[in-house]
Chains A and B, each alone.
Chain A
Amino acid sequence: MEDQAVTGLNNLKEGEESGQSTSGPKPFDSSLFNNPSQDTSTTEFLVQSETEGVEEFKEGEKQSFAVDLPERSDNLNKEVCHDVSLSEEIEISDTLEAQHLSTKSKIALEDGQDKFDDKEVLQEPQSNIEEEPQQDKIIHSESKGAMNEGVHQLVTQTAEVIGKIAQGSLDGDGIYENPQSVELSKEGKHSNVIHHSAVTFKDDFSWEGDDPFLSAINMSEADRRRDAWLPSEATAKVLSSRSAIHGADYSSRPDLTMPGISFDEAQTDPLKELLIKYQHETEASKRNVLTLDQVTRDVDGLKKLVNHGCLRSAVQLTGLLLTSVGQGKGQAGMPSQNTAESLQIWFIRLALLVKLRQHTTADLESQPFRDLDKPDLYYQYYPALYPGRRGSMVPFSFRVLVAELPQFIGQHQDSMTRLYSLLTTCQKIVTNLTEGFDEYGDKCGLSEEYLNASLLLWKHRTNRVQYSVGNCLLALKDYYQSIKVFESLACEDIANSQRIRSLTGRIYLQLGDLKSAQELFNQLEHESRPEDEVGRIQILMNKGFLRMAQNMYTDAHIQFSEVLKINPNHFTAINNISVCLLYMGKLKSALTLLESLVNQDPDKYLDESILFNLCTLYELESSKSATKKQNLLCLAAKYRGDGFNTSCLKIS
């Protein structure tokens, strides 16, 4: 192991003892740069440069289906539309009439033998499906099955209005969340079986003061600015043509976003696996980690799993939730109904996959969304369901995530293109708002208050995309452009100016430009105010980093230690002190420091970066590193969920 490994116990290659010195090549001339001629001369060496390992990424296989679905014309019962719009009206009138009233609209998807939990079913829509004759019988039946699903999601919608006392249905802190949950009545079964499922929407209101009407208006305004998005020209065209057709809900495939999950299997818990591998059966059986079966199969359960760090189970739960809305495994490319809720679930799913570093899967599953601009992702596409509502159902965070995805599989330029496209739209909206129009550049009588709030939101979003651009450039090692982006952000995001400029300084250090870093850090120190504690810590940290870059580890140690005098729990400073100690030749002190940090509050400090450092130190310390690392493994198993990245423990 030691002979071939660069990794392993030592990061040095360990060689064979057999004589290399005698039979080695002739000594190199120390006159390395010989340029005797008038013309351009190249210095020549016999140096084999190691080419950097280029990771190969498999292009996500495009899902192809033998069955092409026939064009459908679904005639939605007009009364449904009426009912839905009525329900909206009722919301407002209800809130007008009763103060503590919240509206809950429920759309249930059921097959023939529905059992509705709620009694006040106003209307059940009918669906008429027309199929084109199929030549092949097998294909025919398959397509029928697949279509039935789609149709069911699209058409079988029941709107229901329930009045409830507000306190009863408000969640904890009473913060408005819309739409709040997606619930499953039953788990989705096989793809040919029509799902028994119910998707529940809950609109909870929170209001300040006693005017529910006002709060309802505010809320819809908050929705309005949050959902605002400028569709592409082609999409806008489709959307405007749809608003003319009142009520009809037929879909043409090019308009549809048809995502589907690529796997629904449970992922194994890596901590448990390692415990079993290293024969800690008792620990393994004791491992008490939240699993899918212990939570409700809805957004609340999902939240619980994520909060407990059980990211893998959470991914599986998103799979179940998406399967229930017809976006399960193998269903990519088949029509299904996208809703604000399903898109939120998608956002979380892809986010979790990124967190779990399953980038190829995330990229594959994100393909059907493309640039998130298909007409069916806009509320205007469903004039019957969302009368008068405008904007995109896609969470802004999801847009950012999808734009960032390609860089994780090495396609940074794709990410840059997507991010800049986001940036352009954000900037357009900001311009519209600055000029006194609404987000879309239309003149409408919106209050100053609204416009200001919207402007603030969109400026924040613009900044956020710029952070992503800066990060992507940094990953590309385009330091210059990255620094430019963060410099401009420091001017935009005044509140964080010091932090952002310190970040710029760290980029300078990382690339080796100590001079620019020093100038910047000095400038920051000059501007800082002594009463600002956070600022003082930042200055000390900056100094510490600079000293490290100058090989002055003892000085760096002093700077980081000063931080602890202000904030004894500054774990970043503690970790950095430990790093300094190693470079100062004090391995034992470095180890003790990090060990005590982790043991002092394992729940907090069992962090992958810190554990990586700790395990590196263990490896250097003694031959018993394996045991010590396994102790950490047991500790991690006690406190961490299945999303824990075990690679930091360096147990292979």
Chain B
Amino acid sequence: MEAPREKEHLLSLKVMRLTKPSFVLSSPVLCEPQDIFARNSDGLQDLAPKLSAVQGLPAASLGELLTLPQNFGSIYLGETFSCYVSVHNDSSHNVKEILIKTDLQTSSQRLALSGSGATPKSELAPESCIDEVIQHEVKELGTHILVCAVSYTTPSGDNMYFRKFFKFQVLKPLDVKTKFYSTEDNLVHSDEVYLEAQIQNITQSPMCIEKVSLEPAPEYTVSELNQLSNNTNCSIFGEITYVNPMDTRQYLYCLKAKPQQGSERGSFAKGVSSIGKLDIVWKTNLGERGRLQTSPLQRVAPGCGDIKLVVLRIPDSVTLQSSFKFLCKITSCCERTMDLKLNLLNTVKGLSWMGISGKQLGKLGPGDSMEIELSMLSTTPGLQSISGMRLVDQNLKRTYEHDDIAQIFVHHAQIAA
């Protein structure tokens, strides 16, 4: 059973990863008192009862008996690697000066877990052992090697030494995707940014995500939008407290820039800036805990181009085959004066433009804006998107395409009634 090199040693080293224990699952097969197999006349009985069955609840499969981990299992980044190291004296002699040292070798570094600088245990009697439970929060992905070194002195005075290696892989538990949304009312100098974080469970077991918080960079304040109301602790995720494998949860945060000196409102930096980081805490099987922090989330301030188009007013819904109007605001973001012409193209089905295409809008200076009202006719029920607006700068002969400006719901008349 043992490797030959170990036979030569008086001590043996055993290591076991301590994942959490679990409840024994049984498969009850019950008889009714009238079945020919029933042992007695009251209640349901198992055909071949096991000790793991719940007393008084023979039909339940999940028992109260705990069972030790059966295999190494998977270990994920952010979890705590916990293992039992036991050095046993297999010989019939007293062994002296025993020192156990454990290190963890990752792809980038070597971490001392225990035993470094410790004083050796002076003596170990036959059949006794030295036990240690080692814990280490895993902070790196990939291959890890647990190195256990044992040194001791034999009764004859020889100094002995042996090592054992245990290799395991650290896997990625979560997939995090982030998305920034800027508010539209203040285009050039927005002071509010929304962050959507999609957190996907890529482990193989359900995961109870306890906390996902955004720790903002110093220049911002954050409010979490993941509760139904600010007063209660009611999560928007409802009663289901866990995330199944491959399922994703979305968290939303509103970031506000802190007012800067000399100005009433704060503003978000243009270009690339760091917004803050996400702190995620989860638990799995019987409270196995994991925690991860993302690296700082980078936001690229949206470039708005030469022209910004914002819809100021539009009805939510409209009946089929009727016309509706909506109001747009066109803002110049460039440093030159533009001479604009509006072309309307019927690019998609469902909505048709009403009015003249090729209308002259006139000149628009730097930073200026104008409001225009446009009409459309609905032709198909459903959620329709407004597209096909083309603004042409006649000075530079440049066309700015504006599609999917807004959505409107088109329905039959009787629904409204």
Q: Which residues of A contact B (CB under 8 A)?
A: 1-2, 6-7, 9-17, 20-21, 24-28, 30-43, 45-50, 52, 173, 175, 177-181, 222, 226, 299, 302-303, 306-307, 309, 311, 341, 344, 347-348, 351-352, 354-355, 395-397, 400-401, 404, 408, 464, 467-468, 470-471, 474-475, 477, 479-480, 496, 499-500, 503, 506-516, 534, 541, 545, 548-551, 571-572, 575-576, 579, 582-588, 604-605, 607-610, 612-613, 616-617, 619-624, 626, 643
**Sample (23) of A-B pairs whose CB atoms are under 8 Å apart:** A11-B69, A21-B145, A33-B278, A37-B300, A307-B39, A348-B36, A397-B29, A397-B31, A468-B59, A470-B60, A471-B59, A471-B60, A477-B244, A480-B242, A510-B62, A512-B288, A514-B283, A548-B66, A579-B21, A579-B68, A585-B131, A587-B84, A622-B90
- With A11-B71, A479-B242 as known contacts, state yes or no: A177 contacts B36, CB within 8 Å: yes
Q: Shortest beta-carbon distance, A196 to chain B, in Å?
A: 23
Tell me, rounded to whole Å, the shortest Cβ–Cβ distance linking A392 to chain B. Answer: 13
What chain A residues lie within 8 Å of B176 (beta carbons)? 33, 35, 43
Chain B contacts with A in 41-78, Cβ cutoff 8 A: 41, 44, 47-48, 50-52, 54-57, 59-72, 74, 77
A551:B295 contact, CB within 8 angstroms:
no
CB neighbours (8 Å) of A464 from chain B are 30, 44, 59
The 6 closest A-B pairs by CB, nearest first: A27-B108, A549-B287, A33-B294, A31-B295, A512-B283, A467-B59
Q: Please give 14 more A-B residue pairs, beta carbons under 8 A apart, in addition to A33-B176, A623-B2.
A: A14-B165, A27-B109, A33-B292, A35-B177, A42-B177, A46-B141, A49-B172, A347-B37, A355-B47, A395-B32, A397-B29, A511-B241, A621-B14, A622-B88
In the complex the two chains form, is B108's CB within 8 Å of A28's CB? yes
- Answer whether A576 and B34 are a contact pair too, CB < 8 Å, given A13-B72, A14-B167, A513-B241: no
Contact B52 A609 (CB under 8 A): yes
Interchain CA distance A303-B36 in the complex, whole Å: 9
Q: Are B62 and A512 in contact (CB under 8 A)?
A: no
Residues of chain B lying within 8 A (CB to CB) of residue A45: 141, 172
Point out the residues of chain B lying under 8 angstroms from A507, CB to CB: 62
B327 interface residue (CB < 8 Å to A): no
| Nearest residue, chain A, Cβ from B203 | A49
Q: Is the CB of A612 within 8 A of B168?
A: no
**Nearest-neighbor residue (CB-CB) of B87 within chain A:** A622
CB pair B27 A408 closer than 8 Å: yes
Q: Does B129 contact A (CB under 8 A)?
A: yes
State in angstroms the CA–CA spacing of A393 and B408 once bound together: 63
CB contacts (< 8 Å) of B146 on chain A: these are 12
Complex contact B286–A549 (CB within 8 A): yes
Task: Tell me, yes or no, whether B225 is within 8 Å of chain A by CB.
Answer: no
Kindly state whether residue B142 has any CB partner on chain A within 8 Å: yes
Pair A355/B29 contact, Cβ less than 8 Å: yes
Q: Does B309 contact A (CB under 8 A)?
A: no
A613 partner residues in chain B, CB cutoff 8 A:
66-68
A467/B37 contact (C-beta < 8 A), A14-B166, A624-B90 known: no
Chain B, interface size: which category?
35 or more
List A contacts of B282 (CB < 8 A): 512
User: CB of B335 within 8 A of chain A?
Assistant: no
Q: Which residue, A15, A341, A643, has most C-beta atoms of chain B within 10 A?
A: A15
Q: How far is the CA of A171 from the CA of B360 in the complex (A)?
A: 106
What's the least CB distance linking A198 to chain B, in Å? 17
Contact check, B17 vs A608: say whether CB atoms are below 8 A apart. Answer: no
B287:A10 contact, CB within 8 angstroms: no
Given A47-B141, A513-B208, decide whether A620 and B84 contact each other with a Cβ distance below 8 A: yes
Residues of A near B163 (CB, < 8 A) are 17
Q: In whole angstroms, what is the CA distance A9 to B65 when docked?
A: 23
Contacting residue for A480 out of B128, B140, B239, B294, CB 8 A: B239
The answer to whether B242 touches A513, judged by C-beta atoms less than 8 angstroms apart, is yes
* Minimum Cβ distance to chain A for residue B359 (Å): 33
Among B266-305, those with CB < 8 Å from A are 272, 277-278, 282-289, 292, 294-300, 302
Q: Report the separation of the CA atoms of residues A63 and B40 in the bound assembly, to the nearest whole angstrom.
A: 38
> At the interface, yes or no: B143 with Cβ under 8 Å from chain A?
yes
A450 CA to B69 CA, complexed, in Å: 51
A605 and B72 in contact, given A35-B178, A514-B283, A579-B66 (Cβ under 8 angstroms): no
Min CB distance A200 to B, Å, is 13
> Which of A41, A344, A480 meets B178, CB within 8 Å?
A41
Contact residues in A for B36 (Cβ distance below 8 Å):
177, 179-181, 299, 341, 344, 348
Are B298 and A34 touching (Cβ within 8 A)?
Answer: yes
A480: chain B residues at CB < 8 Å are 239-240, 242
Please, which residues of chain A bring their CB within 8 A of the CB of B31? 397
Tell me whether A35 and B141 are in contact (CB under 8 A): no
The answer to whether B206 touches A479 (Cβ under 8 A) is yes
Question: Is there contact, CB below 8 Å, between A548 and B141?
Answer: no
Query: In the complex, what distance in Å separates the CA atom of A52 from the CA atom of B69?
Result: 17
| A28 near B54: Cβ-Cβ < 8 Å | no
**Residue of A549, A605, A626 ringed by the most chain B CB atoms within 10 A:** A549
Contact with A along B169-181 (1 / 0, CB 8 A): 1011001111110
Q: What's the nearest-Cβ distance from chain A to residue B308, in Å?
A: 16
Q: How far is the CA of A180 from the CA of B39 in the complex (A)?
A: 13
Distance of A608 from chain B, by nearest CB (Å): 7
In the assembled complex, the Cα of A479 lies from the Cα of B205 at a distance in Å of 11
| Contact B57–A20 (Cβ < 8 Å) | no
Bound Cα distance A397, B105 (Å): 56
State whether B37 touches A41 (Cβ < 8 A). Answer: no
**In the bound complex, how far is the Cα of B20 from the Cα of A506, in angstroms?**
14
- Contact A551–B239 (Cβ < 8 Å): no
**B307 interface residue per 8 A CB criterion:** no
Q: Is the CB of A585 within 8 A of B52?
A: no
Instruction: Closest B residue to A12 by CB, please name it.
Output: B166
Given contact pairs A32-B295, A512-B208, A623-B12, A348 touches B59 in the complex (Cβ within 8 A): no
Q: How far is the CA of A650 from the CA of B375 in the complex (A)?
A: 79
Asked if B132 is at the interface (CB within 8 A of a chain A CB), the reply is: yes
Report chain B residues within 8 Å CB of A496.
56-57
A571 adjacent to B202 (CB under 8 Å)? no
A607 to B24 Cα, complex, angstroms: 12
Check B133 for interface membership: any CB of A closer than 8 A.
yes
CB distance from A476 to the nearest CB of B (A): 11
B182 — nearest CB in chain A belongs to which residue? A38
Is there contact, CB below 8 Å, between A21 and B67? Answer: no
When chains A and B are docked, how far (Å) is the Cα of A549 from the Cα of B22?
Answer: 10
B328, chain A: closest CB distance, angstroms = 23
Smallest distance from the beta carbon of A25 to chain B beta carbons, Å?
Answer: 5
* Contacting pair A583 B133 (CB below 8 A): yes
Tell me which residues across on chain B come within 8 A of A354, comparing CB atoms.
27, 29
What CA separation (Å) do A401 and B83 show in the bound complex?
40
Bound Cα distance from A40 to B179, whole angstroms: 5
- The residues of B that contact A341 with a CB separation of less than 8 Å are 36
Cβ A576 vs Cβ B129 within 8 A: no
Does any Cβ of A come within 8 Å of B139's Cβ?
A: yes
Complex CA–CA separation, A347 to B283 (angstroms): 41
Contact flags B69-102 to A (C-beta < 8 A → 1, else 0): 1111010010000011010101000000000000
Quick check: B48 and A309 within 8 Å, CB to CB? Answer: yes
Q: Are B286 and A20 in contact (CB under 8 A)?
A: no
Say which residue of A20, A408, A609 sits within 8 Å of B51 (CB atoms).
Answer: A609
User: What residue in chain A is nearest B61 (Cβ atoms)?
Assistant: A471
Residues on B with beta carbons closer than 8 Å to the beta carbon of A397: 29-32, 35
B181 CB to nearest A CB, Å: 9
B275: nearest residue on chain A (CB-CB)?
Answer: A35
Are A303 and B37 in touch, CB under 8 angstroms?
Answer: yes
Known: A20-B105, A47-B142, A50-B171. A509 touches B287 (CB 8 A): yes
Other-chain contact of B71, A6, A26, A477, A586 (Cβ < 8 Å)? A6
Q: Which of B22, B44, B51, B169 contacts A610 (CB 8 A)?
A: B51
Give Cα distance in the complex from A585 to B286, angstroms. Answer: 19
